[in-house]
Amino acid sequence: MNLIRFLIRRILTGIVVLWAVSTATFILFFARPVGIVGRELAGRAASPAVINETIRQLGLNQPLVTQYWHFIDNLLHGKLGYSFYSGESVNAIIKQDLPPTASIVFGGVILWLVIGLGVGILSATRARSLFDRVSTVGVLVGISMPVFVLGELLLLLVFLPLNQHGITFIQDGYVGLSAGIGPWIGHMLLPWITLAVVQAAVYTRLSRGSLLDTLGEDYIRTARAKGLSERRVIYRHGVRAAMTPVVSQLGIDIGSLLGGVIVVEQVFGISGLGAVSVQAINTSNLPVIIGFVIFAAAFVVIANIIVDLAYSLLDPRVRIS
């Protein structure tokens, strides 16, 4: 019952956050002189006739409150507007460009969690060993490595040599799952590694420190005194308690994930939401920018609700507080 109430509170909070982001976006782009807004929405090179038509179509000459109501009403019906450069709906653009970005995010997050948590837990259980010292150096290298540098190095040292020797499994660009699981992994493997290395280093350091602190707690010593096996003490009692700060960090990182994805897409020539976002900003394509801001906010809210749910399952005290 506490879990259900906790989940309802988080969902209601997420709705408030989405409303606040939507309202702030509306004020930023529409609470300005009509002529300026019309020119930006129609495009920099638009003629006065096109600007006036844009103002008429979007109802920019109506009272601001009326415009806001139409804006929110469209969002509630899932309508994010239309690009004035291609005439394509923002919904269609997101639907078309989401799979490459989602593929990078999904694989990258899984990879950095597996590597980061795995190395961190092993380092904590083998503190001051050779493995621990080597992983510490690896963490420092990973944290210090810019994403675009690592991506270029992987292209230079992995992609080019393999393809020059006729091994074409590793490729740049993007192909969907419709082409098969093998080609999809082959195109995504280097982007996954590029996105995951820096974050895996962070999670290695965080999980190692958290687990070391947890293994020093009184209840861990009590569990050992009762004769429980070391494996059960570590993985049944220690790791679960140590994961709470890791889950919290994951919620923070999800919010900044789009920035890393943009760089990865640029390096590997993948046309996803990141590349389209950069293009929309460079061309002042406001309908696309607004739509992407709302979509990104919804993604962050949903992802953090899932993270909060996982956090509450790891630490029941969260549901009560």
Say if residues 265 and 274 touch (Cβ distance below 8 Å).
Answer: yes
| Arithmetic mean of pLDDT, 173-178 | 84
**Mean pLDDT over the full length of the chain:** 81
Q: What is the arithmetic mean of pLDDT over 61-68?
A: 80
Q: Distance (Å, rounded) from C-alpha 209 to C-alpha 213? A: 6
pLDDT > 80? residue 45 = no
Q: Which residue's structure tokens are 């082409």?
A: 179
Whole-angstrom distance, CA of residue 104 vs CA of residue 270: 10
Token representation of residue 316: 């029941």
pLDDT at residue number 16: 93
* Per-residue pLDDT at 88 exceeds 70: yes
**Confidence band (pLDDT; 50, 70, 90) for 315?**
low
Using left for φ > 0, alpha for ψ between -120 and 50, and beta otherwise, residue 33 falls in beta
- Structural domains for the chain: 2-76 (no CATH), 102-320 (1.10.3720.10)
Contact 218, 233 (CB under 8 A): no
3-state secondary structure of 82: strand
Going by C-beta distance under 8 Å and a sequence separation of 6 or more, which residues neighbour residue 131? Answer: 122, 123
Yes or no: say if 54 and 84 are a contact pair by the CB < 8 Å rule: yes
Mean pLDDT of the 217-243 span: 80
Dist. CA 53–CA 47, nearest whole Å: 10
Q: Is the pLDDT of residue 317 over 60?
A: no
3-class SS of residue 220: helix
**pTM across the whole model:** 0.80
